[in-house]
């Protein structure tokens, strides 16, 4: 049994809360960096939009810190993907889920921020995301970090 992978499903409400708060934390950090740089703070939760126009020197520093904490060589990435379905899934929907490709993306800071740009709105308003008869796939840096946090407690 893999405790790190099973734990999020034992407390799905905790997973949603953790993902929401983590996404908001990253958003507020990016907004603080904009304020400290003398920039305006747009009324958005979109992480990539908040980050991409930061001064290049600041982005270089942030990216160097990210790369130091997230080495690419020899690192195993343990990710979590959540399939959301409203109601009981039909056999056809379950088969469709099994055939969906695993989403891929760059693991550098830019790729993670682009892939997770709407993380706060996605996780905060999760109850609005499901569509009857269809699976909605949720994946991104927030889920990756939550999984990593769970690994530490295994």
Q: Which tens digits make up the pLDDT trace of 15-66?
A: 778 888 888 999 999 999 999 999 999 999 999 999 999 999 999 999 888 8
pTM of the model: 0.71
What is the per-residue pLDDT for 36?
Answer: 94
Q: Are 120 and 24 in contact (CB under 8 A)?
A: yes
Q: How far apart are CA 120 and CA 122, in angstroms?
A: 5
């Amino acid at each position: 049994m893999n405790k790190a992978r099973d734990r999020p499903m034992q407390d799905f409400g905790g997973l949603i809360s953790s993902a929401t708060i983590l996404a908001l934390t990253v958003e507020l950090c990016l907004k603080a960096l904009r304020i400290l740089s003398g920039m305006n703070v747009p009324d958005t939760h979109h992480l990539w939009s908040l980050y991409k126009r930061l001064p290049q020197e600041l982005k270089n520093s942030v990216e160097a810190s990210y790369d130091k904490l997230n080495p690419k060589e020899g690192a195993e990435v343990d990710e979590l993907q959540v399939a959301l379905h409203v109601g009981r899934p039909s056999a056809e929907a379950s088969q469709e889920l099994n055939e969906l490709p695993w989403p891929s993306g760059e693991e550098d800071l830019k790729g993670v921020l682009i892939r997770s740009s709407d993380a706060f709105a996605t996780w905060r308003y999760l109850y609005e995301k499901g569509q009857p008869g269809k699976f909605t796939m949720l994946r991104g840096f927030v889920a990756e970090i939550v999984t990593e946090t769970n690994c530490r407690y295994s």
